[in-house]
Chains A and B, each alone.
Chain A
Amino acid sequence: EPEVTQTPSHQVTQMGQEVILRCVPISNHLYFYWYRQILGQKVEFLVSFYNNEISEKSEIFDDQFSVERPDGSNFTLKIRSTKLEDSAMYFCASESLENYGYTFGSGTRLTVV
């Protein structure tokens, strides 16, 4: 079964530092997403990416956030200057045109101290 792979599984960073979360979506998928989940809360949409550009972003996705698809396989989320409230699980997901219903990765737990 194809998987969405995320690395690292856990990252601890100091407030103000930059972090890059990495994802390898399923190879024939065309839509890519980042979501986050603060501990004990629901999953929240951050950004969607299609055809090498952002197609939609939420209010959470401010100027501190950026996404990139640097090559044909990786999809990254960068947080420029982390804040304590950025601590959460970050999930990458990808979707094909044929079947709606994403495949999520296992997530990266980001802890900002």
Chain B
Amino acid sequence: GQQLNQSPQSMFIQEGEDVSMNCTSSSIFNTWLWYKQDPGEGPVLLIALYKAGELTSNGRLTAQFGITRKDSFLNISASIPSDVGIYFCAGQKGAQKLVFGQGTRLTINP
């Protein structure tokens, strides 16, 4: 079945550092999404990417949709304590199910 490979699985960084994580897939998706999940909560949408090659920013977050539609990265600049959580990439084909990556757990040392 469709699978997204997300890396790294976990990151331990100092406050203020930049963060980068990525996802790759063997399948083409029309839409790539990045979500953040806090403990005991549902995923919250951070950035949605609709066009191949698209680079989109949301505050300190920047994400790009790969030209091949099979990969995406998410960068967080100048990390702060509230960035702690699990980040998931997800691919979507039209108005259909999301296929999620395994998640990147981000831990920040103050």
Residues of A whose CB lies within 8 Å of any CB of B are 4, 31, 33, 35, 41-45, 48, 50, 55-56, 58, 91, 93, 95, 97, 99-107, 109
Contact = CB atoms under 8 A, between A and B. Distances in A.
A45 B98 contact: yes
Contacts, number: 59
A43 B44 CA distance: 13
B102 interface: yes
Contact of B92 (A4, A58, A100): A100
Interface residues of B, number: 24
Interface of B: 30-31, 33, 35, 40-45, 48, 50, 88, 90, 92, 95-103
B100 A42 contact: yes
B102 A42 contact: yes
A42 to B, nearest CB: 5
A31 B95 contact: yes
6 contacts: A45-B97, A48-B96, A101-B33, A102-B98, A104-B35, A106-B42
Given A91-B43, A106-B41, A100 B31 contact: yes
Contacts of B97: 33, 45, 48, 56, 58
Nearest to A48: B97
B50 A100 contact: yes
A42 B88 contact: yes
